[in-house]
Structure formats: structure tokens, C-alpha cells
Amino acid sequence: MHSQNPVFIPGPTNIPEVIRKACDMPTLDHRSAAFARIFGPAVAGVKEVLFTRTGEVMIFPSTGTGGWEAAITNTLSPGDTVLAARYGMFSHRWIDMCQRHRLNVQIIETPWGEGAPLARIEAALKADREHMIKAVLVTHNETATGVVSDVAGVRRALTAAGHPALLFVDGVSSIGSMEFRMDDWGVDIAVAGSQKGFMLPAGLAILGLSEKAAAAMDSASLPRTFFDFRDMRKSYAGGGYPYTPAVGLLNGLATSSRMLCDEGIEAVWARHRRIAEGVRRAIAGWGLRPCAATPDLYSDTVTAVVVPEGMNGTDLVKLAAEKYDMAFGVGLGEVAGKVFRIGHLGSLTDAMMLSGLAVAEMCMADLGWPVALGSGVAAAQDYYRKNGLPAVSKAA
């Protein structure tokens, strides 16, 4: 039987039926006016979600990883220095990609469970008197640990240091779900993916770029072809693509961005914040804790739950899949086995979340963990009841 249960992984997320239907469309000529009528609203909707008025939007048939590659290859040259903190699996992967592209990566090693270290970033920028650092890379929401970093704080660090480096942000698991203000925060390139807050299948890399980032592509000399912003810009001017686009996904993106904007982007952020807080209350009810070191670092899209001493988080994830047909996320990298992850982003309601928490509790009981059935669910129920449900969400 095909599962009817929602998923509680940090992405891909649950797909609303209206978006699924929008993606399911007949073939059309992607060089026709019919495609332009799909593409224009998709781009405009993404700009609203990013909170940018002056930025450009680039949408590639790819994933967030392709978006990272597009960001660096269009703006940097071989041997350029970039500054990045490593505090989780996805910040690590961005560093690895830069190294493979023969960039010089200045790494600030940071304990997993913490976020971007603002003071150390500012110190590194101030020490770079010759401005060798060309870009600062920040993973806004580290899904391996459930940690959110202060992107606006990184921009303040750049300003305090009087440094001209570009600011690149991995917003794959935050954009469309958590507060993200591209213009206000001075982000030069924001990277998102279709399968997270936009509630689509995987297949689109979605980027916002500032005027400063767009100017950098004129002098950048890293090789790029498929991900060349210049080719995309030229084709965009005529309402098309330099190659075959993912038409169905773009039609879905036009629908999903409209749904997010109809709900109200700030209302979307508030919905995620409320659902996440219910999850955190449940974790406390279990006598457990999030991996994030302090409450100000708690993510509103994913929580990595530290498992009891002697237990293995992967066991819970496997049992949930095999016995209850429900998906949670395993621990990655340095926290493999030490945590299991609960995704709470995208198309989600309080009631859906309670079903995930109930299954997690049953798995804990089955595995003999020291957790009482009902303890976490009751804590989340109490929070959701007292804080009330908003008007029914068009994105839920």
C-alpha cells in the first residue's frame, strides 16, 4: 500500500495536492508565450518569498547543491579565498565543494550544535587587511543539528570590518519557512531548493542574487556552462531558457509561491515557529533535549533530538519506517546515531505534527527508551491548544 502518512524529514517535504496537480501538466513548447506565462509568475513569486525588491532570481533544473555550485562558479576565480565556518554536515559540504573547485577556503572550525561564530568571523575579516577574502559562506539553517545562524549578524560583521566580501547564504531548508530577508540582511546570493519550504518535488535550484553579485560574474573565471548566469540572463530577457526547463516544476513553483504569499510570508514564518515550539515542548516532555546548544539557535524547520545514553537514534528511524510507515531523519556526520531528526517544515499543521510525535513516542517505547507514552504528545497538545490555531492555511 502506498503510504498516506506525512513525512517528518527535513526535506523533501509533504506536497499539497494542489501543487502536485500543478506539476502534472501536458507537454508545452518551452519557447512559446504559454511558457512565459508560467515562468514570469514563478520568478515574481520567488522574489516575494525572498523579500527582495532589487535582486534577480535564477532558477536552474537542479537541486540546492547545484545552486551552491552556481553561486561560486559565477562569482569567483581559481585561487580566490572564501571564509566559511564548519558547524554541521551541510556547511561541511559547501566547504568541500569550494575546495574541489580549487578555491582557498579559510575554515573556522565550530562545534556541531553551535551556529555561525559571529565574533570569530568578524575577527577574520578584520585581520584580512588586503581583502583577500572574496566571499563569506553561511549555512542559515544547519539541518544536521537543527541550528539556525544569524545571517544579519554576519552582515553586521562584514560592515564592522569594512570588508567588501560577498555574502553567500545556504537557505535551502529555511527559505519559504523561516524568517529570511534578503535585502534587509544584505545577502548577495541566497540559495534555495524546490523540495523544502516551496513544497515541491526536488528538481529546482532557486537563487536570488544582488546587484553586487551580478557584477562579480564579469570578472569571475571559474568554468561554468550549465550554470552560467550570463546565459540565463540573456534567455530570461526573452521569457525563456538557454536549454530545456523543468516546465511542470516551474508551474508548481508559480503555484507554491502564490500559496505562500496568499497565506502571508510572515504568517508562514509564524506557523513554522508555532509548530516547532510544540515539538520542542514534546522533547522536553520526553526528558530529552535538542542538539542545538542554546534556545536562540533552535531551528523552526528541523530539530535534532539527542537520544538517551546508550541508545541509537538510527534504530528509532528504522523502526518508525518498518513498523509504522513513517519517516524521520537519521543523524549525519559527527552526530550519526547520537540524534534522530524531526522535520517540521513545508506543508504541515499542528494535527499532522501530533501524529509524528505520537509515532516517535511509540518507537521509543518499543525500543525500551525511558520515555512514558503520552508525555511528549500531551506537552505539544497543551501548547497548541493554549496558543490557538490560526485561520486554515492555504499552504497546508
In CATH, 17-262 is 3.40.50.970: no
Task: Tell me how many degrees the CA angle 146-150-155 measures, rounded to the nearest 5.
Answer: 150
Task: Provide the pLDDT confidence category of residue 396 given band limits of 50, 70 and 90.
Answer: very low
pLDDT digit string, tens, across residues 99-114? 999 999 999 999 999 9
48-76 confidence digits (pLDDT tens):
999 999 999 999 999 999 999 999 999 99
Query: Across the chain, what does the average pLDDT equal?
Result: 95
Beta bridge partners of 142: 147
* Residue 224, amino acid: R
Q: Where are the alpha helices (DSSP H) in the chain?
A: 17-23, 33-50, 64-73, 89-100, 118-127, 151-161, 211-216, 229-236, 247-263, 265-285, 313-324, 350-367, 375-387
- Position 337 pLDDT exceeds 80: yes
CATH (residue range 265-387): 3.90.1150.10
End-to-end CA distance of the chain: 24
Which positions ≥6 away from 73 have C-beta within 8 Å? 101, 220, 222, 223, 224, 227
Same fold, 17-262 and 265-387: no
Task: In whole angstroms, give the CA distance from residue 40 to residue 22.
Answer: 15
Give every CB contact of residue 245 below 8 A, 6+ residues apart in sequence: 30, 35, 39, 61
β-pairing, 302-306 vs 289-290, is antiparallel
pLDDT-derived band of residue 239, with 50, 70 and 90 as boundaries?
confident
The residues spanned by each domain of the chain are 17-262, 265-387
* Exposure class string for 226-244: b at 16+ Cβ within 10 A, else e: ebbbeebeeebeebbbeee
Give the model confidence (pLDDT) of 341-371 as tens digits.
999 999 999 999 999 999 999 999 999 999 9
Average pLDDT over residues 82-97: 96
| 272-291 tens-digit pLDDT | 999 999 999 999 999 999 99
Instruction: Count Cβ atoms within 10 A of the Cβ of residue 44 and give its class: 0-12 exposed, 13-18 middle, 19 or more buried.
Output: middle
Instruction: Specify the 3-state DSSP secondary structure of 114.
Output: strand
Q: How far is CA 118 from the centre of its chain?
A: 20
Out of 28-32, 129-133, 300-304, 341-345, least confident range: 28-32
d(C-alpha 72, C-alpha 93), whole Å: 13
Q: What angle do CA 6, 11, 12 make, to 5 degrees?
A: 75
Interval 140-159 mean pLDDT: 98
Q: What's the pLDDT at 44? A: 96
Say if CB 126 and CB 74 are below 8 A apart: no
Type of residue at 76: L
User: Rounded to two decimals, what is the model's pTM?
Assistant: 0.95
Name the percent of the chain lying above pLDDT 90: 93
Query: Of 114, 143, 146, 142, whose CA–CA distance to 293 is shortest?
Result: 114
